[in-house]
Amino acid sequence: MRRPRGVASSRAISAATLRAITRFAVTAEPVAYGGQALVDGVLMRGRTHVGVAFRAKDGSIATATEALGGGVVRRLLAKIPAGRGVVVLWETLALGSRWLLRSAEVSAGDEQSESSSRAFGALVLVMTLVLAIGVFNVLPAVASTLLVRALGFNSLLLERAVDGIMQMGILIGYLSLVGRSSDVDRTYRYHGAEHRAIHAYENGQALTRKNLGTWPTAHPRCGTEFLVVVILVSLVAFSLLGRLDPLATVLSRVVGIPLVAGISYEILRLLGRYRNNPIAHALAAPGLAVQRITTRQPDEAMHDVAIAALEAALVAEGAAIPAGSERPATRPLPAATKKGEAR
């Protein structure tokens, strides 16, 4: 297999970068590894476990693993094409929110006490979902209808077009604005390292700094890609409902988002599996372009954290680490206790 060319700048998804992703990447496995950038860390999600790695305040890499939940409802939903997307999305949001809070504590040097209980993490998750659905979905839908009617037009197609433009504008504006923070900039760089580690693993390469450096920081199955697909799918799906009054519009968006998310997940899986297909290439291009904002050039130390997180997940699942992989020096993350509790 030919080795992909390096990318001069992770801030620009050029045609060469798109070719590096689609032409050289092999077909993804049916169940592929995914990940998330944390505060000075990376989370990798496998079939049954997640592996996390943090760059601690003392410069060392602390790692931990966690088994994914089971349950009858989860198993039933996982058998339904649109349902499994909802399961993966919910687990990703729940685990991601909790480990994001934990990573902030580790980064601050507080490894042993945990102020972010599961209840607090759940509250943060609910607030995030309410804000995301309200600002990124419901607000543009209602505003586009009111705006188009105020201008004297009566076109559902125009309303949905304005809706899509508003959603993309809010998303890109938000991601760009928060990216100006030095802390978020660092998280975006860990995001790039996470993608590179997955690229290398999916293509059968050893997990080394050198191999990771040859891959682009964008990835077709990224959460940013998912958000773009959700916007496109929602525009089509909600257009089929016809014109609704504002209250019905709000209710349809809230109730319909899980179904839209499930369909979007299936589309994203297909784009990842058939990424060599020219149609899949074209459909993936908008999401990859938005990753100019959410992924940035990582340094070698960040590559080590991404490698450590992926290897932790592989070991927890009993999977083989690719031969020749580097094994960054790590230590276990101490078990946390809630503040005020005795150890």
Amino acid code (one letter) for 40:
D
What single letter denotes the amino acid at residue 174? Answer: Y
pLDDT of res. 201: 95
Length of the chain: 343
Q: What is the mean pLDDT of residues 229-244?
A: 84
Judge whether residue 316 has pLDDT over 80.
yes
Name the more confident of 334 and 14: 334
Confidence of residue 223 (pLDDT cuts 50, 70, 90): confident
Mean pLDDT score of the chain, rounded to an integer? 81
Q: Is the pLDDT of residue 12 over 50?
A: no
Instruction: Indicate yes or no: pTM above 0.85.
Output: no
Closest residue by Cα to residue 272 from 260, 263, 281:
281
Predicted local confidence at residue 337, as pLDDT: 56
Cα–Cα distances (Å) from 4 to 21, 78, 133, 275, 278, in that order, read 8, 34, 38, 15, 18
Asked whether residue 78 carries a pLDDT value surpassing 50, the answer given is: yes
Domain boundaries, the chain: 15-338
Per-residue pLDDT at 25 exceeds 60:
no
pLDDT tens across 239-253, in order? 888 878 878 888 888
Give the number of other CB atoms < 10 A from CB of residue 75.
10
Name the one residue in this structure whose structure tokens are 């998303």. 171
Task: Report d(CA 197, CA 210) in Å as an integer.
Answer: 11
Provide the CA 46 distance to its chain's centre, in angstroms: 14
- pLDDT beyond 80 at 116: no
What integer pLDDT is reported at residue 231 of this predicted model?
A: 85
Neighbours of 3 (CB within 10 A): 12
Q: Which amino acid is at 1?
A: M
Which of the two residues, 110 and 11, has the higher pLDDT score? 110
> For position 225, what pLDDT does the model report?
80
- Give yes or no for residue 323 having a pLDDT over 70: yes
| Per-residue pLDDT tens digits for 255-309 | 888 888 888 888 887 776 776 778 777 777 888 888 999 999 999 999 999 999 9
What's the confidence (pLDDT) of residue 101? 84
What is residue 48's predicted lDDT score, i.e. its pLDDT?
A: 86
pLDDT at 185: 94
Share of the chain above pLDDT 70, in %: 80
- CB–CB of 308/40 below 8 Å? no
Q: State the DSSP H helix or E strand holding residue 54, giving kind and residue range, or none if neither.
A: strand 49-55
Mean per-residue pLDDT, 222-229: 82
What is the average per-residue pLDDT within 154-177?
A: 90
Quote the strand ranges of 101-232, DSSP E.
113-114
pLDDT value for 5: 39
Residue 209 pLDDT > 90? yes
